[in-house]
Structure 1
Amino acid sequence: MSRELKASEDLENTYVAERVAYLLPQFEALAPYKLNQRKKGVPNEDLLGWERLAAIEAKNLKINYPDERPEDEKEYGTALRQITALKKALKFAAKTDLKDRALVNPVNTIITHFGEALSYQFASYKERQNSRYRDTVKERRQKENRIYIDLTNSLKFAHNVLTDIKNDEDANWLDVSCAIALATGRRMAEVHLSASFEQIDEYTVTFKGQLKGKNRRVRLGDKAVSVRDLPFKIPTLISADLVCFGLQWLDDKGKRFEPDEDPERVNRRFSKTLNEACKSWDIFPADERTYHKFRAAYLRAAIVNDGNVDPYDFIDFAKDVLGDDDEATINAYKRYEIKPGSLTRI
C-alpha cells in the first residue's frame, strides 16, 4: 500500500521537530531552579544548563549541516536557517506542550538565553554571510549592473484579474495573490494571513498586519503599539477598491489563515506554489522571478508615482510604504530601475 503524502502545510522540519522534542523537557526541568543553575546545570540532578545545551546544539548543527569550504570562508547558511527555525519552534511549543503551564515564563526565558548562546556560536559565520551579502548588493547596484524592469504587462494582467473577480467571474487564486502582492508590496504571509486593507482614496489604503519586526512596539500618540497593529498609509498600483476586494476574495476562497496563526504555515502551504506561479510574471529576468520580488517592483513603481522621491535616495520613503527598517534590503532594490514608458499604475 502506498504511503499517503502529507498536505504541504503539515510537512515538518524533521531536525527541528526532533530537537524540540528533546530540548523542551530539558528546559522545563531546569525552570524551577535558580538563574545560575539554569545556565550551568544541576549536576546532582543530571541536568545540563542552557549554556552547555547550546554548545552541544552548535556541534550537532555543524555535523548535520556541514559547510565544506575552507574555515575562513565558511558561512553555515543552512545551519543558520535551522537556528532561526529552532528558536521559533521552541517558543511555539512552550505555549502548548509544557506539562506544567505555570512554568511557561521561566521556560521562555531559558529558550531566549539558549537561543542567544546558540546564535553566538555562529556569530562569525553570520557576519561573514552578511558581509558577502552587502558586497553583492553594492556590486549589483552599480550603474553597469542595474536592471530595467517593465511592469506594463503584469499590471494590466493584475488589473484584469482583480476586475474579473469583482465582476463575479472565475480566476485562479494564485493570480489574485500575485496581483495583490504587486499592487501593494506586501509579503506572502501578510497577503495570506495578517494583512487588512481599508480604502482611503482611489490609490491609497490603510494597511495593518506588518509581520517583520512584529513584536517591536512603537509610539503612536500617547501609547506604545505593536508594529503589527500599527496602521500604515500605503499607495497602491491598482485601484484600492479592487485591491481590498481581492484580499477579501482570497479569504472567502479559504486561501488565508486566521491572523493569529503562525506565519510559517503560509510558507509551508503556499510558498512553493506561489513562487512557481510568479515565473509567468515577466517583470524581472526569468531567474529572478519570486513572490518577494513583487515588493521591489512595487517600491520602484511607487517612487515614480509619488513624483517627489529621489530614485536613488529613498530609504525614508521605503520605510514608510514597506514598513521595513532593513536598509540592506531596501538598498538591494536600487539595482532595479523602471524602464522608460513602463506603466507604474493602472
Structure 2
Amino acid sequence: MEIGISTFVETTPDPKTGEVISHAQRIREVVEEIVLADSVGLDVFGVGEHHREDFAASNPAIILAAAASQTKNIRLTSAVIVLSSADPVRVFQDFATVDGISNGRAEIMAGRGSFIESFPLFGYDLKDYDELFEEKLELLLNIRDSEIVNWKGGHRPAIQNRGVYPRPVQEPLPVWIGSGGNSDSVIRAGILGLPLVLAIIGGQPTQFAPLVQLYKKALAHAGHDVNKFQVGSHSHGFIAENTEVAADKFFPSTQYVMNKLGKERGWGPYTRESFDAARSFEGALYVGDSSTVADKIIYLRKNVGITRFMLHVPVGSMPHDDVMKAIELLGKEVAPKVREEVAKWEENI
C-alpha cells in the first residue's frame, strides 16, 4: 500500500485576509513539501498541471525536477499532465529528464483534464477533446516503448524514423491513467495495461468499487496479469493534532475553491454542512487526526481495492506550516498504521 501527496500548487486568496502569495513563493514551498514528504517516508508526490491564475504549476516536470536532486526515495509524478493539449514528445523528454535526475523515480500520470484552459491556450478545439487524448496517448506509449519512432495521427505532424531522447533510467517509464470515474477511461487503462488513478473527491468512495472491478476485468480480458497492476486514489484531505482542529483549518480554503469552481461549473453552494457530511467515515474527505485518516484509508483499501492513496492537500491556499505538519503526520503516523493493518489483512484473505 503506497501513501503519498498530490497538489495543484494553489495560489488562491487567503480566506481571512484576502492576501495572495506569489506563484514563485508557492512553487518554492511545494519543493520544500516534496523534500519533507521524502524524509518522512512517503512513497509518491504528484503535481498537477493547470493554466490558471490560481494554480502555479503549468509545468509539473520542472517543479519535480527541482525536488529530484534533493530527495532519495520518493516517486515523482504528474497528477495529472493534460496530455490532450500537450506534445507527447516533449512530455516524454521532460519526464525522462526527471527520471535521470532522480535516478529512476519519475512517473507520468496522464489525463484528459477537467480544467480546459490549456486547450485555447495551445490552439486546440474542445470538440476534439476525446480524440486528442486517444491519439496523444498512443504516441506517448509509442515513444515510451521504442527509441526510434514511426507514427502518424490526425492532430499532430507525423514522425518518421526519429529517435526521442533522453531515454529514461526506467524501461519502460511508468505511465498511469488519471480518471474522474469515466468507465471508458477505466476500460482503456485496463486494455492498454496501464495503472489507474481515480479522482475520488465526492460522494461515497465505495461507489468506485465497481469501476475497480471493471478495470480488472479489462486487464484480464486483454491478457494482463491483474495482480501486477495498481489502482490509486486522489482524494482531498488534511491532518492535524485532532479532528476538529483539522476540520476548522481545512474548511475555509476548501469552501473558497469549491464555491469559485461552483460558479464556473453551475454547482450549488459549498457549505459547512456538506463539508462535514463529506468527512464522515464513509465520505470522500480525509480530514481528521492521524487515526481517523488512517482508518478511512484502510477502509478504502478493503472495500474498493485501492493500492495507492494520494492525499490532495491543500485545496486552496493554506499556511505552509500547516501543510508541512499534515505531510509529517501522514508520513510518520498515518502511513505506518495503514501499511501494518493492510499487511495483516492481506495475510488473512
TM-score for the superposition, normalised by structure 2: 0.29
Larger Rg: 1
TM-score for the superposition, normalised by structure 1: 0.29
Q: Higher strand fraction: Structure 1 or Structure 2?
A: 2
Q: Higher helix fraction: Structure 1 or Structure 2?
A: 1
